[in-house]
Structure 1
């Protein structure tokens, strides 16, 4: 089966490369297209056999599965150009949260999935959030999740929880990286340790912590308790964090949801706008 990618920006290229590196897809199975043609050609040059399509319409005509990896504001334009070529047996996959399944159903006569990937999929790890239209059969879902399982842990979520699920799985790596970055900078400023050495230590710490929380079978709470000795150094630091960070994560979620609402409003307006001749 041919698999197409409309958009080869950051996440589109991550998905393409992860599928190839994991062995889930051969380059010969993949067609890509991008508004900036040079970006698609550059990606294809790295993987001989990959095809650069001339337009989104060509992707829709030739591929059994089509991943749409463009910004929310560009979806309607892509669907206006290529949507008429969708077939009932085809699966179109959206990877952005503000574009809802009902938006796609209103434009496409095909099977529709909404998959929210993560940058962690590049190293064949992390979650892929899976949501499906009623047009998807159990076999369709299993086939798509088998493909995703090469690069992620496919997890089915309700579309109404798209934003918070994405906050954790897709935005979370950036939040965690920011915390680690601040920790490293403070360590260098306060003690004189080099940022390079602190970065190496912190990176290994994050890797080990992730393993403890997955294959190690610990929860965040149990891990914290295992490390914290009553009256010890870790407890003193955690007391500080508990005070200084009180309410911060609530505000973080409020901020992401406010931006999501803004983006959703813009998408709704585009899909509601009458077509022009």
Structure 2
């Protein structure tokens, strides 16, 4: 199947649909897409705790036995959203819109993409919208490599994006793409046989310069140079934002005002230059 036609339809929807604008704030820029194999051995590695602690992970072929492609997407936040969230200790209003209304818009995108692919007679599953999707958070501090209890889920957008070649992780546990770290991820598993992308990296933190900028940006010191993000501390703060901004919540400070905000960072630059 021609990926250009699919991407063109999805991109047009993102850039033209009015639901991508909330209170005169445009949420997302044009997306990135990558395509991976549903039988990539790294999915099993995730489940077996060789790369991450995701014992509940449902493998792509378990989501859809006839799957031929895993599609990973990234929607970068606009400069308006990112700029607003660079200041202060609490999430900017623009960021809260991007986090909550933005996710609702992504769900619309996922449904549109599913309809498109099924219209081409290709059965398609969206794990994040499936009744079989669940996640458990706030179970303990975790890193990609820990064996103890931690965040777990039946599907991980970030790990799928890493496997499909979209980017590598940073200290804040976000995924750094060629359009940066500030944005949202999404995916389809489909029978459509798209040409696959090849990972251009070999290390999990390859794009991260370990500059420490995200450490200083975190309002509750939840990120450590040696162990990365402590999800317990982060989760408590997010719960506080939910109380403050209900029905919205969010933070994203570690994704804004850092060298990897909207690009792969220059390894020759220091954190102080961000």
TM-score (norm 1): 0.25
Name the one with the larger helix percent: 1
Q: Indicate the structure (1 or 2) with the bigger Cα radius of gyration.
A: 1
Between 1 and 2, higher relative CO (CA 8 Å, sep ≥ 6) is seen in 2
